[in-house]
Amino acid sequence: MSDKEKKITIETGDSGKGTTELPASANTEELEERALSVFSSDRNEDITALVLCLLTAFLVLLFTKWLV
C-alpha cells in the first residue's frame, strides 16, 4: 500500500470541526495550523492584520486628531 492511500486522523479541535482524515504523507503540523485559521498562510494572515491595523490607526487619527 502506498503512502497516498494510508490515512491518518489529526486533532483539530471543535473550531477545526473535530478531527480530519488526511493522507499519511501530508504535512500534518502545517495542516493542523491552517485548520485553525481562515487564511491560507501565516504571511497572508500577518499582512491582512497589518493592513487592517494601519487602516484603523489612520481612521483613529482622522477622527481624534486631524478632523478635531
Partner 1 sequence: MSQIKDQMPALIMGGSLLIYGLIAKTGAMLPMAKYLGTHKTMDLQVTLTLIVGCIALVGAIVSTTRKSGTSNIDIFVLRPLAGIVFILVLAMVIRWYAEPLMKITSVALQPLLGFKIYKVLNLNYVVLGILVGVVLTNTWGIPKFAAEGVKCARFVLKMGVIMLGAKYSLAELAKLGAYSVLLVGFFVLGTVFLVLWLGNLFKQPKSMTGVLAAGMGVCGVSATVAVAPVVKAKAAEMAYTIGTILSFGIICMFVFPTIGHLANMTPVQFGAWAGTGILNSAQVAAAALAFNSVDIETLKVAEIFNITRVLFLPIIVLVLATWFGKETGQKLTFKSVVIDKFPVFIIGFLLLFFLSSMGVFSPASHYKGKYIDVSYSERTQVTPEGLESLNSAMAANEFSGLTPKQLEAVTDLVKQYQIAGNFADRNDKKVFEQVGRARMAELEGVLAAAKGKQLTLSADVKEALKHAVKQVHKESRTVVALTDFMIWFFAFGLIGLGMQITKKSITQAGGWPIVIGIIAGVTKATLSFFVVLWLIKDVVLN
Q: What are the residues binding partner 1 (CB under 8 A)? A: 11, 13-17, 29, 32-33, 36-39, 42-43, 45-50, 52-54, 56-57, 60-61, 63-65, 68
| CA atoms of 43 and 36, how far apart (whole Å) | 15
> Whose Cβ is closer to partner 1: residue 4's or residue 63's?
63
- Give the DSSP letter string of 16-52: TTEEEEEETTS-HHHHHHHHT-SSSSHHHHHHHHHHH
> Whose Cβ is closer to partner 1: residue 5's or residue 29's?
29
Retrieve residue 27's grid coordinates: 504535512
> Whose Cβ is closer to partner 1: residue 1's or residue 66's?
66
